[in-house]
Structure 1
Amino acid sequence: MPVPDERWNHNIHYHPVVLGAVPADCRTALDVGCGEGMLARELRAVVPSVTGVDLDAPSLELARAQGGGVEYVQGDVLTHPFAPASFDLIASIAVLHHMDTATALRRMRGLLRPGGVLAVIGLPRTRLPRDLPYEIAGAVAHRWHRRRRGYWEHSAPTVWPPPDTFADVRRTAERELPGVRLRRHALWRYSLVWTKPAA
């Protein structure tokens, strides 16, 4: 039985950041760690060809049951034989902390076509007391949204705590993706958006 798309959680909250990063004339997109396919189906509404890749077979079964015209692949994005430079958009939500950050960013960079966009929503490890304002803001925002919309807990495997702080991610991303744009968000997330230079 399909799960309604009115589901909400901290990751779903930032889908609009990814959707807003879709480049003009985007023809192909890859959703890394697609889980049950919610973002992949939203991307399919604006991108002709969308592929979702995930290691978790039960999540992919749920994704396929929803339909939506997305191709789902069970595999590891780091090793699956995707053709180099084959995607106009690569999206990833709450997945980067499951992998070595530098290795994952290099791999996704290589799979992007020139002019393509990488859009990541990630989870930083909290560093107190420096991150206390973000912790307070996140708690307030979480409580407000949860009272209005409820909270959907996904079934995919989790990694906690995230290994990298926001400062760690920034250093790595700026080294691997010159010109990357990073932003810290409430609800314990950050966004990373990078456009691959045109050839």
Structure 2
Amino acid sequence: MDVPDDQRWNHNIEYHSLLAEAVADAKDVLDVGCGEGQLARRIRRSGAAVTGIDPDPVSIELARAQSAEDDITYLRADFLEYPFEPNSFDGIVSIAALHHMDSTRALTRMRELLRPGGTLALIGMARNGSPRDLPWEAAALLTSCKDRLFRTQWPHPSPVVWPPPETYGEIRRRAADLLPGVRYRRHLLWRYSLVWTKPDPAAAQG
């Protein structure tokens, strides 16, 4: 049964607001790993021009079917190979997609495509790598159980990769190396966020 966007919930949708707010001032937004397009549609309603890219044909077909004609540009393609021009977007978002790709190549590509002064906001998934992760795991389990008592989880149609290939610590270090000044935050429900604004030399001189 088709479920309207405002009635859907799952562990990814929980963090859509974080990403949408991070790029609220962007005019041209790229959604990497857009899936069936719920986040892209939300950002489009703010007035931004949105491009969604995903290699999965089923997801892209569903995304196009749920958006008005020509309202959002959806590309069925490999983000790492698609010939975008550098500095093409002032906002880039991605949710639960980075672990489907080589993280170094993907973060480097996002950095290249972002205009100076633009913002990258990403929700990712990683796996536990040390005993310090165990309290987070326990909290996530408790929170998820509580949420499921009051919410029905919407099963997204996109492909799943589990377990993620990298640990939280590995992702945090890689992001710090590739995106100096990035804000990394660990979240409940088995997620982390990266928010980074690309330095703008012109603004610094002004």
Aligned to 1:91: 93
TM-score (norm 1): 0.96
Q: Percent identity?
A: 57
Superposed displacement of residue 130, structure 1 = 2.2
Counterpart AA for 2:198: K
Partner residue of 1:45?
A: 45
Q: Secondary structure at the match of 1:133?
A: helix
Which of 141, 147, 156 is equivalent to 1:139?
141
**CA offset digits 1:85-110 (Å, max 9, x no partner):** 01011000000011111111000000
Checking the alignment, whether the CA contact within 8 Å between 1:23 and 1:117 is kept in structure 2 is: no
Question: Which residue does the alignment assign to 1:176?
Answer: 178
Separation of aligned partners in 1, 2:9 and 2:37: 14
Distance, in Å, in 1 between the alignment partners of 2:130 and 2:173 is 19
Match of 1:82 in 2: 84
Q: Which position in structure 2 is the counterpart of 1:158?
A: 160
Maintained 8 Å contact 1:8/1:149: yes
Q: CA RMSD in A?
A: 1.3
| Cα deviation 1:111-145 (Å, max 9, x = unaligned) | 00000000010011122532111111111111111
TM-score, scaled relative to structure 2: 0.92
Aligned residues: 198
Report the counterpart of residue 12 of structure 2 in structure 1: 11
Question: Which is further off, 146-155 or 116-125?
Answer: 146-155
Q: SS in structure 1 opposite 2:184? A: strand
Structure 1 counterpart of 2:21: 20
Runs of 4+ in 1 over 6 A off after TM superposition: none
- Gaps of at least 5 residues in structure 2 are 202-206
User: Are residues 79 and 35 of structure 1, via their aligned partners in 2, closer, same or farther at CA, if it must alter by over 3 Å?
Assistant: same
